[in-house]
Amino acid sequence: MKLRIFDLLFLDIEMPKIDGIEFGERLRRNNDRTEIVYVSAREDRVFDAFKVRPFDFIRKSNFLGDLSKVINNYLAMLESRKGGTVTVLSKSGIMNVPLSDVKYFEGYGKTQLIHLAGKKETINVNRSMEKLEEDLGPKGFIRIHKGILVNYRFISRILVSDVELTDGEVLPLSRRKVTAIKARYLELLRGGGSVIL
């Protein structure tokens, strides 16, 4: 059977046999990065949907207005992703990695590891965390700890002392900076088209 990959998926929260949020969780467990838009009259379940990192929500009561906004935000996001890569220079050659594949950077000093979605292997990069934060902060990366810079698109939840990623991995969170980290995360979500309630 040929695997089909989709860019954007519209799901109702309440569906026969399987709940739309549960279906989204299954996609995320398989490291599927299809953008999900929930269409529902169940506005009380919006917070339940955050764990699957949806792109946006469409209220059935304002379907046409919300749909137009979501499509415009999605097209703007695609435009902003163009050319978004990290180029790693090493003794063995040059490697281009799409930013959309980078979950997070981890390390200390001058050497960091790039953790990629769906891959166990990491990539070494010779760049300080401070310089990575300076270069990638404007592209949606948040420094959640002294040695960790995360792509906000992979954050599922920010808890009291750690951050849970969409694949279930848990990373430590700097308690000193938790307020600033949450504020930046919400700012990026809004910029990506999320409705914050």
pLDDT tens per residue, range 112-131: 999 998 888 899 998 899 99
Mean pLDDT of 137-160: 93
116, with CB counted inside 10 A (0-12, 13-18, 19+), is: middle
- What is each CA distance from 191 to 1, 29, 70, 76, in whole angstroms? 37, 25, 12, 10
**CA distance linking residue 16 with residue 179, whole number of Å:** 40
Full-model pTM: 0.61
Angle formed at CA 185 by CA 176 and CA 61, multiple of 5 degrees: 140
Average pLDDT, the chain: 86
Handedness of CA 118, 24, 156, 149 (dihedral sign): positive
Query: pLDDT-based confidence at 141, cuts 50/70/90?
Result: very high
Q: Per-residue pLDDT averaged across 38-56, rounded?
A: 83
pLDDT in tens, 18-30: 888 899 888 888 7
CA 13 to chain centre: 20
CA distance 101 to 139: 13
In three-state secondary structure terms, 86 is strand
Average pLDDT value for residue range 85-111: 85
